[in-house]
Amino acid sequence: MSADVKTEDEYEDLLGQWSDLEAGLATLLNHPENVQEFEARLYQYDRWMQDLTQRDTDLALYLLFQLAAQSHVGYSTSHALMCAVLCQVLAPEFALPQNERNSLVRAALTMNIAMTTLQDELARQPGKPTPEQQTGIASHADRGAMLLGQLGINNEMWLDAVSLHHHEDWPQVELQNLTPVQRISHILHVVDRYAAMISPRRSREGRSAADSAQSILHGNGAKDNPVGQSLLRVIGLCPPGTFVKLVGNEIAIVMRRSSQTNHPDVAIVLDRNGQTVRRPVLQHGAEIGSDIQGFVSASAVQERINHHLILQLGAKADSRNVVAGIAP
């Protein structure tokens, strides 16, 4: 983790920046017709997101996975921000030109703009969508592209990606051989599905990140999904902010990715008896092997977790790695 979380004040400041970003984006998505210079405001939030993510990607993922797994309020905005960050970290994997990266991330931020209120309602309600809600879901992609056009967006790649983000029937060719619109629409579709799977609804619990990743890789007969494989490679089978069970039956939260997919740095938060560990215990995957026995959904961890202490451990670990000559 970054030195940004050495003190509780620094942690609160960083958390406040993410919260402010989410709040501003929520205003934009909930009331786009009331926003002056909509496009310029969205560019501002894109740059803000880039800055926070590039400053410390592990910390960004940690906070976002916690938010996505625990919050029912403002689900649509939280989901949009999660998808935008995942697209941001995926873009270099596919060597996307800047114009494709911009269209991809901005489509992620706005793909559900025509159903923001409906999406929040669906996250809160205990039952399945009504027929009327199903109609809204089915038409939201095209309506979203139309609304963005009315708001002054004239970037055709961005608009087409929003319109096509639920499309699945792309030509069976290498990703780089798809057209730019097909390529970013396919990436957005996979990221959207993955982020939706890990997020809880009143009608169901969120799945673990690992279960979601496996579904993305192998679901619907897609055994060789290059986007899913890249997503797994970049953020890890166990991304920061997700929970795992260790071989000793302790429950730990992933703090930082490592070069070994199944050996991330973790902090043990529950002992083998399910009791809260007063001060989380740091375990370095690269040094001693944090053997993962299983994956745990956030909804299964009911105890209150002191995330500041965990991130403080990460900052200390970074300092020790720098002294030892190990890249954090």
Domain with CATH 2.30.30 in the chain: 237-328
**pLDDT for 116-127, tens place per residue?**
999 999 888 888
**pLDDT for 268-303, tens place per residue?**
999 999 888 888 888 877 655 557 777 787 777 877
| pTM for this model (two decimals) | 0.87
pLDDT at 202: 44
pLDDT-derived band at 3 (thresholds 50, 70, 90) equals: very low
Q: Report the distance separating Cα 179 and Cα 103, nearest Å.
A: 13
* Fold (topology level) of 3-235: Hypothetical protein af1432 (1.10.3210)
In the numeric block, the tokens 């916690």 are attached to 66
- Laid out side by side, the sheet with 243-246 consists of 276-283, 265-270, 251-256, 243-246, 292-296
SS3 sequence of 20-31: HHHHHHHHHHHC
Radius of gyration of the chain (CA): 20
**pLDDT for 128-156, tens place per residue?**
899 999 999 999 999 999 999 999 999 99
Choose which CATH entry (2.30.30, 2.40.230, 2.50.20, 3.50.4) describes domain 237-328: 2.30.30
Domain with CATH 1.10.3210.10 in the chain: 3-235
The stretch 70-81 carries a mean pLDDT of 79
Q: How far apart are the first and last CA of the chain?
A: 8
